[in-house]
Amino acid sequence: MGSRRTDMTSFIYEQLAQRFSEQIHTGLWRPQQRLPSIRQLSEEFGVAKITVQHALHKLEASGLVEARPRSGYFVCQRSVPAVPSSKRLLNTQPSLVNMPLIFQDIMARSAAFDLCPGAPVNEPASHLLQLNRHIGRAMRQQLHHKALYYTGPQGNPALREQIALLYQGRNCPLDAEALCITAGCQNSLFLALMSCCEPGDTVAVESPAFYGVLQLLQQLRLKVVEIPVSPTLGLKAADLEAVVRKWPVKACVITASFATPTGASIPGEEKRQLVALAEQYGLTLIEDDIYGDLGFHFRPEPLKAFDKNGNVILCSSISKSLSRDLRLGWIAGGRHHDKIVHLKLINQLASGQAMQEGLASFMAEGHYKRHLLQYRQQLKRQRDDLLKALNALWQFPFRYTVPEGGIALWLELQKQQDTARYYQPLLMENIVITPGALFSTQGHFNNYLRLSFAHPATGPRRQALARLAGVFAGRG
C-alpha cells in the first residue's frame, strides 16, 4: 500500500516520522519517556491524526518507540556506541594518512559485506533476471557502434535522465546535464577528491569514516582531519565549523544518509547548515550518497538538495542497492563538473554503452523502484534478525546502532577487545570481519566492529556470529 500513496502524502508522513526520530535521537524525548498523545501530536505538528499514527507505526517498526497497552507510546531504551572525544580530535593537527598494509588487504576482501562470503545466498533474483534481460537487449543492438566507438565521457543521456528523476523523487532537483557516469561510487569519490584537492591539501572526514575514503586520501597524499560524529545523527555543523576555523580545510567528505559504519543520518536542518557553511567558507562538500536509496521508512534528501551554488559534489552508484557487477555510478560535481568530466575522460575514456543502456531502460520501466520497495523491507527484516541473533548469542556487554537504512550497523565491544587482532585468525575459518580500526587513521574504534545485514543471519552466518561470541568473550 505504501507504494500507492501519492508522493505528497507520503512526503508529509515520512517527514513527520523523521521529526519524531530526531526528537528521540537529540534527546528531546528520552528513553522510557511517554510520548504526547496522538491528539496532542496532531495539534502540535498540524497534521491529521491518521498521519501521526502512520508515523508512530513506522517508528515502532524500527524499534524507536513501543506501544504499551492502554498507556500510549514510549521511547525505547536504546543502546548506542560511544563517540570519541571531540576536544581531543579537534586539536589533532591535520596529517598525511598512513594506514597499515593489513588494512589495504582488509579493504580488498571485506567490501563484500558478508561474514561468510563462501556461504550460499538464496534470495529472490527476479530483479536480476530482469536487469540481465535489459542489458542483453542493449548488447544485441548496434553491435558495431558499441564495438567501434566510445561514448562521450559524461555517459549515456538516457541513464543520466533516469538518475536525475530518482533525485527529483528525493526532493533534490538535479538535471541530467549536471551528472557524469562513473565506474561506481568509489570511482566517483576518487574523481571528486582529484577535482577539488591538490596533494598536501587538508580534507575533513567523519569519525568513524568510510575506509575507502581514508585510503583514497592516503594515495592522493591529502591530509586528514577527523571530526567525531554522533552514531545516530552524524556530523554536526558546529563541529565542522570549529574545524574549518582552525585548519585550512579544502573539502569535507560526508555521508548524510545511513553512513557506513554507523548507519547515522544527518537531520534536515543540520544538512542545511552544513551546506551554508560550505558557502561561507568556500569549502567543497563531497557527499557519499550510496545508501540514500536504502532508507527503510523514508528517502532522506541528500545534502545536494540544499546546494544552490555548486559547493556539493554528490557521489553514488547502484552497487549497494541493485548490483555490484555493472560497475556504474555517478557524480554531480556542481562547480567542479567540467573538471570532473575531463578527469573521467583521462582516467578511463568512457563507460560501457550496453551496461548504461540496459540500466537506463530497466529504470525507465520502473523495475528499479519496484526492486527498492521490496529490498528495503528485506534489509529491515535482516537488520532485525541480526539484532535478535546478536542479543541471543552474545552474552557479554556490547552496544550497537539501529540504523533506519543502509546495510550495516556499528558495534562497540569492551575496551580490551582489539577487533583487528581477530581478523587474520578468523579469516582462516572463512569468517571475514570488518574491524573498527579500519574506520579511523588515529587508532580510535579499536574495540568496534561493523556488521552487515546485507545477508540473513541464518545458517553459516548465524554460526559465524556464535563463533564471534566465543572469540569476543575471550574463549576464542
Rounded Cα distance between 213 and 223, Å, is 12
User: Is residue 77 a contact partner of residue 32, using CB atoms and an 8 Å limit?
Assistant: yes
- CA 288-291-293 angle, to 5 degrees, is 120
- State which residue, 164 or 343, has the beta carbon closest to its own copies: 343
Q: How far is the CB of 189 from its own copies (least distance, A)?
A: 9
Pick the binder of its own copies from 63, 212, 310, 456 (CB under 8 A).
Answer: 212
Pick the binder of its own copies from 2, 136, 470, 474 (CB under 8 A).
Answer: 136
Pick the binder of its own copies from 132, 171, 442, 446 (CB under 8 A).
Answer: 132
Rg (CA), the chain: 22
Pick the binder of its own copies from 168, 219, 377, 458 (CB under 8 A).
Answer: 219
Q: Is 335 in the site for its own copies (CB under 8 A)?
A: no
Phi, psi of 424 (to 5 degrees): -65, -50
Strand-pair partners of 95: 224
Pick the binder of its own copies from 19, 272, 327, 467 (CB under 8 A).
Answer: 327
Q: How far is the CB of 414 from its own copies (least distance, A)?
A: 32
- State which residue, 112 or 473, has the beta carbon closest to its own copies: 112
User: Is residue 409 a contact partner of residue 402, using CB atoms and an 8 Å limit?
Assistant: yes
Contacts of 408 (CB under 8 A, 6+ apart): 113, 260, 261, 263, 434, 450, 451, 452, 453, 454
- State which residue, 320 or 380, has the beta carbon closest to its own copies: 320
Contacts of 148 (CB under 8 A, 6+ apart): none
Pick the binder of its own copies from 297, 299, 336, 455 (CB under 8 A).
Answer: 455
Rounded Cα distance between 254 and 260, Å, is 10
Pick the binder of its own copies from 102, 165, 194, 473 (CB under 8 A).
Answer: 194
Q: How far is the CB of 360 from its own copies (least distance, A)?
A: 15
- State which residue, 90 or 220, has the beta carbon closest to its own copies: 220
Rounded Cα distance between 228 and 206, Å, is 6
Pick the binder of its own copies from 42, 353, 417, 441 (CB under 8 A).
Answer: 353
- State which residue, 348 or 446, has the beta carbon closest to its own copies: 348
Determine the interface stretch with its own copies among 159-167, 214-222, 396-404, 441-449 (rule: CB under 8 A).
214-222
Count of residues that interact with its own copies, criterion CB under 8 A: 65
Q: Is 144 in the site for its own copies (CB under 8 A)?
A: yes
Q: How far is the CB of 444 from its own copies (least distance, A)?
A: 21
Q: Binding to its own copies (CB under 8 A): which residues in 265-304? A: none
- State which residue, 167 or 375, has the beta carbon closest to its own copies: 375
> For 285, how many CA atoms within 13 A lie in the half-sphere containing its CB?
34
Q: Is 378 in the site for its own copies (CB under 8 A)?
A: no
Determine the interface stretch with its own copies among 143-151, 156-164, 273-281, 418-426 (rule: CB under 8 A).
143-151
Look at residues 400, 413, 416 and name the one whose alpha carbon lies nearest to residue 453.
400
Q: Is 147 in the site for its own copies (CB under 8 A)?
A: yes
Look at residues 207, 56, 115, 98 and name the one whose alpha carbon lies nearest to residue 429.
115
Determine the interface stretch with its own copies among 55-63, 64-72, 138-146, 164-172 (rule: CB under 8 A).
138-146
Q: How far is the CB of 247 from its own copies (least distance, A)?
A: 22
- CA 293 to chain CA centroid, Å, is 9
Pick the binder of its own copies from 53, 84, 114, 421 (CB under 8 A).
Answer: 114
Q: How far is the CB of 353 from its own copies (least distance, A)?
A: 5
Q: How far is the CB of 357 from its own copies (least distance, A)?
A: 10
409: number of Cβ within 10 Å? 24
Q: Binding to its own copies (CB under 8 A): which residues in 171-190? A: 183-184, 186-187, 190
Rounded Cα distance between 65 and 53, Å, is 12
**Contacts with its own copies, residue ranges (CB under 8 A):** 104, 107-109, 111-114, 117, 121-123, 125, 128-129, 132, 135-136, 139-140, 143-150, 152-153, 183-184, 186-187, 190, 194, 198-199, 212, 215-216, 219, 221, 319, 322-327, 342-343, 345-355, 454-455
